[in-house]
A = this chain, B = another copy of it.
Amino acid sequence: MGGDFGTRVVIPAAKKILSKYQDINLILVGDSYIINKQLARHNLASSKRLQVQHASQKVAMHESPVQALRTKKDSSMRVAINLVKSGGAHACVSAGNTGALLATASFVLKTLPGVDRPAIIRTLPTLIPDKNVRMLDLGANVDSSPHQLLQFAVMGRVLAEAVDNIQNPSVRLLNIGEEDIKGNELVKQAAMLFKDNDAIHYVGYIEGDKIYHGTADVIVCDGFVGNIALKVTEGTVNTVLQFVKQAFLQNWLSKVAGLLVKPIFSKIRKKIDPDYYNGASLIGLQGIVIKSHGGASANGFARAIEEAMHEVGKNVPSLIREQVAQLLKQTVE
């Protein structure tokens, strides 16, 4: 029910996924009246592979997480997460209110043993063809401790290894310089922890302008900084595209030129399309929860479902549980 488009995006995405993968079952959670109406419109009917689970409430996009947790016990989001908890579903995918999703998922599923706090991680493109980077935390936490950053690094490593099939993925810490003396206290202390630890392949600092250079498989930062970095990226891409649009709309000659290069621009848009990389994981929980961007298209939402499928296939929570246990053992020794 969440996101900017609700069922209008989720149902076409479900249709895509059901026809692309024969071995997946989906449960649509929300207002069954609305869902069934939309299903009929898309020539879909509930079946063994597509069930509808009614939920009488809905968390609004700007509702406070605490409010949602207290008063929306039958929200689509809550019911979907309950299904993960009870074993009725392997994963939950939602385009809803991020703060409420995080609070609800943390409350219902709890973090894995040894994990202090869940983190938000997603895949970003790089300049190197077919090479992506996973970055975390993107806003689940502020004022993280160096130990929490180490936990984030281990969780990022698990996703890069298990889901992206990268052997011994390289981990970098986001910083304002590459020399050892650069950075704030958090980053400097985290770097010392990272260097000493065999659970991750730490290769040093990375600056903000190199995030998209493809020199790291996993980039770790505090959620405040990660959220700013991600949103600055979005804002900058939109600003550049806006300037491009303004330039092409200036006069009839530039308008004609704009028409000519349209196919080239669709190619570029695809490269930087957030839909293509849609699906952030709320990682560190005893269950798989994927957050789709609120403005994602049906294709984007389908990507988020695929991310969930990959994480289910590799049983990411149990891999993280193992890796974090090793980490704790190492820290105690």
Contacts and interface: CB of A to CB of B under 8 A. Distances in A.
Given A176-B139, A264-B248, A272 B240 contact: yes
A141 to B, nearest CB: 9
B232 A143 contact: no
Interface residues of A, number: 55
A181 interface: yes
A332 interface: no
A314 interface: no
A243 interface: yes
A127 B242 contact: yes
A88 to B, nearest CB: 33
B230 A208 contact: yes
Contact of A268 (B208, B211, B247): B247
Interface stretch (A2-10, A23-31, A253-261, A298-306): A253-261
A37 interface: no
Interface in A225-255: 225, 227-244, 247-248, 250, 254
A127, A222, A240 interface centre (most CB from chain B within 10 Å): A240
A129 to B, nearest CB: 9
A136 to B, nearest CB: 14
A74 B237 CA distance: 44
B224 A208 contact: no
Given A240-B237, A261-B257, A229 B227 contact: no
A158 to B, nearest CB: 25
A228, A229, A232 interface centre (most CB from chain B within 10 Å): A232
Contacts of A192: none
A239 B254 contact: no
Interface of A: 64, 127, 139, 142-143, 174, 176, 179, 181, 183-185, 187, 207-213, 222-225, 227-244, 247-248, 250, 254, 257, 260-261, 264-265, 267-268, 271-272
